[in-house]
Amino acid sequence: MNKSKKNILWIIGGGQLQVPLIVEARKLKLNILVTDKDPNCVCKPLSDHFYPVDIFDISKNVELLLTLQAQGFEFRGVIAAGIDANVTAAVVAKTAGLPGVNPKAAYITHNKALFREFLAKNKLPSPKWEEVATLSQAKKAIKKISAPFIIKNIDSSASRGTRKFFTKPADGELELALEEAKKASTTNTALVEELLSGPEQTVETLFDANGKFRPCFITDRKFDVKSEWATELEVEHPTTLSIATQKKLYELVGRTAKLLGITTGAAKADTMVTKNGPVIIEMTTRLSGGFDCQYLVPIATGKNILRAAILTSLGKKFPASLLQDRKHRVAVLDSLWPKPGGRIVAIEGVEEAKRMPGFELFSMRYKLGDIVKPYVDNAKRACFVIASGKDRKEAKENLKRILAVVSIKTKQA
């Protein structure tokens, strides 16, 4: 640990997905400052400077910046990756006079209603939607949109407070879903949206220090389309989409980002290829979560999106080689799904799995003694398991064998 106040990269968030970011920043000889509300977060001992500040409290982060600058701290860059604090990162970077996304673009993409207004204004494809606060407003919106529809939070991630309806629900059921979505929003409102259908993806892109649009990767996201919950089940890289469809997705994301005024930093989109063409479902001005750019894509390709993003945050160019596929493998991500309501009493088979062909990663969200929560959003999944192979068939077979030997034992709480 280096207590120097010079050459500092400010990493917003101190969770598991920020660990590889710190590792990469160390290779660039940067000193690390981490902010996270949790004083016991996993990144605290990995940082040179740590401050227990809520990453979503923009004013507190700006206040900390000004205090530290007065104390002689010299920041080289600010970055949020794999965590939904893109607005905080944008405001702190601008206040510090450092490279970063325009805070207005960050704020628009962070708020689903504002982003959909932006899409409509610019004649970009979007599902029908209404922002609502009350049951009566929700019922009016459903009358316009009709079933199937989906209720979402306004400004949170991981599908918190999200629920799908395939037929018109009873008032009580609708009100319950509305309240859950509002609870997950800072606006005390929710989104009622047309439920589109088609394969879903993560499309990750960067605008480099010169403002050049740089496609990074596209991963395939698998969901249970019949479930009322929008819980992601599997992720695969590379995508199975045709080169032509991939090009359309990158073009849509790039055009949207440019219209937003993004000239540097990340532009990540959750997309769907519908019968009418590609649609951006959500967008943000940070790198992806869900282990995509941190683990899955580097495992399959050797791409180093984290280093490219860090260099961009420093205002430096990065070599094209960082975004080139050097491995030409396939990586797949899945999970184990222990019964909700049970208390975790044992996690078995991990060491055996590590010795198996294709094993890449096993990461638990829970620990021994925790109670498994219902799988109503992506923040509730128990673990992440990644396997790889020379092709899709081998990767999936490797993953299947690994999942068969690892188990999460529970007892009814």
- pLDDT per residue as tens, the chain (413 positions): 678 999 999 999 999 999 999 999 999 999 999 999 999 999 999 999 999 999 999 999 999 999 999 999 999 999 999 999 999 999 999 999 999 999 999 999 999 999 999 999 999 999 999 999 999 999 999 999 999 999 999 999 989 999 999 999 999 999 999 999 999 999 999 999 999 999 999 999 999 999 999 999 999 999 999 999 999 999 999 999 999 999 999 999 999 999 999 999 999 999 999 999 999 999 999 999 989 999 999 999 999 999 999 999 999 999 999 999 999 999 999 999 999 999 999 999 999 999 999 999 999 999 999 999 999 999 999 999 999 999 999 999 999 999 999 999 999 87
Residue 229 to residue 289: CA distance in whole angstroms: 19
Residue 205 to residue 225: CA distance in whole angstroms: 27
Q: Which two tokens stand for residue 305?
A: 């999106």
List, by residue range, all CATH 3.30.470.20 domains of the chain. Answer: 197-323
Please provide the CATH number assigned to the domain covering 128-194. Answer: 3.30.1490.20
Q: Is 130 exposed, middle or buried (0-12, 13-18, 19+ CB in 10 A)?
A: buried
Question: In sequence order, which ranges of 198-296 are alpha helices (DSSP H)?
Answer: 243-260
Strands (E), 238-315: 265-274, 277-284
- Third-level CATH fold of 331-412: Aldehyde Oxidoreductase; domain 3 (3.90.1170)
Please provide the CATH number assigned to the domain covering 197-323. Answer: 3.30.470.20
List, by residue range, all CATH 3.40.50.20 domains of the chain. Answer: 8-98
Residue 69 to residue 308: CA distance in whole angstroms: 26
List, by residue range, all CATH 3.30.1490.20 domains of the chain. Answer: 128-194
The answer to whether 271 and 283 are in contact (CB under 8 A) is: no
Tokens 């198996």: give the residue: 356
Q: Which two tokens stand for residue 200?
A: 């879903």
Please provide the CATH number assigned to the domain covering 8-98. Answer: 3.40.50.20
Q: Name residues whose C-beta falls within 8 Å of residue 73's C-beta, 6 or more positions apart in sequence.
A: 5, 8, 33, 49
DSSP state of 294: I
| pLDDT value, residue 1 | 63
List, by residue range, all CATH 3.90.1170.50 domains of the chain. Answer: 331-412
pTM score, two decimals? 0.96
Residue 185, Ramachandran bin (φ over 0: left; ψ between -120 and 50: alpha; else beta): beta
Residue 90 belongs to what H/E stretch? helix 86-96
